[in-house]
Amino acid sequence: MTKGPGAPLNPELYRNPLDTLPMPPAGGDIPVAYYESTKLALTWSLVDGVQTATWQTPVFNLRPDLRSAGGTPKSGVPIWSTAARLYVQISNLVDGSIDTTKGLRVSTTESAAISYGDIRNGFSSVQRVTADAEVTADVMFGTNQSDRVILVFAPLGEGRPVRFWSIKLKFQKDLSDWASDQIIYVESAYY
């Protein structure tokens, strides 16, 4: 779901009236830089003897001002601010009856591309560009564990982000530590 402050975004997020590249005219309907996902429960499955769940953002278009460059199709969720950051909130980590975070491991991987590829033919050049990064220490606080944490991600690039970008989180728990009735939620916002 994409929202703006106080009102939904104009459905024509990439609108280019009278070819006014790189953005609509001043005083016009320049979209705000905001994305919000719904709150989702992780779905766990057994992978090589380890309970595993993954969560991934959509592909974000971090340079929507280049939307018509080269006549390529418009792709990705547009974020109209190079200073925006992705915030991922993980909640329901603590349950009074069980130690929900015991043995929990969390890692992240980034995917990116400088061009989207030809989506008309089902091809996307957005692929993994980083190794798995362990972020368990940012989620697990030991005996003083909070019920929720917020992770903050900045896209690749210095000052001007790469054009297309997404994040994938992988959660793992050993079977001996797993509490099958515990539900962990993930949601995100980009602003």
pLDDT single digits (tens) 71-101: 556 678 888 888 899 999 999 888 665 556 7
Which among 36, 37, 110, 31 has a CA at the least distance from the CA of 74? 31
Cα dihedral 157, 159, 162, 168 sign: positive
Largest Cα span, the chain = 62
User: Per-residue pLDDT for 4 more than 70?
Assistant: no
Using 50, 70 and 90 to split pLDDT, how confident is the model at 1? very low
136, containing H or E segment: helix 136-139
Cα dihedral 53, 92, 142, 108 sign: positive
- The bridge status of strand 50-56 relative to strand 164-174 is antiparallel
Q: Tell me the CA distances in angstroms from 52 to 15, 45, 69, 109, 150, one per residue in order.
A: 41, 5, 40, 15, 20
Which among 175, 106, 102 has a CA at the least distance from the CA of 145? 102
Residue 104: alpha-carbon gap to chain centroid = 20
Whole-number Å distance between alpha carbons of 163 and 153: 15
Residue 98 tokens read as 């069980």
List the domain boundaries for the chain.
17-190
Predicted TM-score of the model (pTM):
0.79
Using 50, 70 and 90 to split pLDDT, how confident is the model at 133? very high
- Identify the pLDDT of residue 65: 74
Q: Out of 12-16, 58-62, 176-180, pick the least confident.
A: 12-16
Using 50, 70 and 90 to split pLDDT, how confident is the model at 21? low
Residue 91 tokens read as 């909640």
Strands (E), the chain: 35-36, 40-41, 45-47, 50-56, 60-61, 77-78, 86-91, 105-113, 127-128, 133-134, 148-153, 164-174, 185-190
Other CB atoms within a 10 A radius of the CB of residue 93 amount to 19
